[in-house]
């Protein structure tokens, strides 16, 4: 029997968001994620290197590969990555002990992922980066300064002729 779905993030398994996302694909989220060896890691600084990620995440187990998230147009880091382990237990250990820790003065968020597919390493926002950064109105030096919305608000409005 599958555990009940809740909106509270569990440290020993997938978040409610990932459960909803995977459930829409037709299969039970628990079936999809029960053997997942891949983690989605978010809230990274744009300046965090692959080596820094490897150094922190190898504490949970042997890493198979790290795929850095890139701006779709500029091909520069945009604040997320995928970490793939050799076994499911290492991914769960990472969720339990590493998710929520600081890396480059930012609290990283990790969640089980159904698995990396080519093309998912690019940001989904209209500017090529993360959608979250486009909605941000505050200044965040680790995420490249002001969000897209703040920049748009500061530009003078052009009159249509």
Q: What distance in Å separates the CA atoms of residue 143 and residue 140, rounded to the nearest whole number?
A: 5
* pTM exceeding the 0.85 threshold for the entire prediction: no
- Residue 126 domain-assigned? yes
Q: Which helix (H) or strand (E) holds 154?
A: helix 148-154
Residue in the structure block whose two tokens are 């409005």: 157
- Number of domains the chain is built from: 1
C-alpha 76: how far from its chain's center?
Answer: 15
Q: What is the pLDDT of residues 20-62, one digit of tens each?
A: 666 555 566 677 788 889 999 988 998 999 999 999 999 999 9
Mean pLDDT of the chain: 75
Confidence band of 147 (pLDDT split at 50, 70, 90) = low
pLDDT at 67: 93
Q: What distance in Å separates the CA atoms of residue 119 and residue 123, rounded to the nearest whole number?
A: 9
* CATH number (domain holding residue 138): 3.30.70.330
> Whose CA is closest to 147, among 116, 126, 161?
126
The residue segments making up the domain with residue 33 are: 16-154
Statement: residue 137 has pLDDT above 70: no
- Residue 6 domain-assigned? no
- Residue 111 domain-assigned? yes
- Residue 105 domain-assigned? yes
- Residue 159 domain-assigned? no
pLDDT at 14: 67
Q: What is the pLDDT of residues 63-73, one digit of tens each?
A: 999 999 888 88
Q: In the beta sheet, which residues pair with residue 67?
A: 82
- Residue 3 domain-assigned? no
């Amino acid at each position: 029997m599958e555990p009940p779905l809740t909106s509270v993030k569990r440290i020993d398994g997938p978040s409610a968001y990932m459960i909803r996302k995977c459930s829409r694909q037709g299969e039970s989220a628990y079936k999809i994620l029960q053997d997942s060896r891949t983690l989605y890691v978010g809230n990274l600084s744009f300046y965090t290197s692959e080596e820094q990620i490897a150094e922190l995440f190898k504490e949970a187990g042997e890493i198979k590969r790290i795929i850095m998230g890139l701006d779709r147009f500029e091909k520069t880091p945009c604040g997320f990555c995928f970490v793939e382990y050799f076994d499911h237990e290492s991914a769960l250990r990472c969720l339990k002990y590493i998710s929520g820790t600081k890396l480059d003065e930012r609290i990283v968020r990790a969640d089980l992922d159904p698995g990396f597919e080519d093309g998912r390493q690019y940001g989904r926002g209209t500017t090529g980066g993360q959608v979250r950064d486009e909605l941000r109105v505050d200044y965040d030096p680790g995420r490249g300064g002001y969000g897209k919305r703040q920049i748009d608000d500061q530009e003078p409005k052009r009159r249509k002729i």
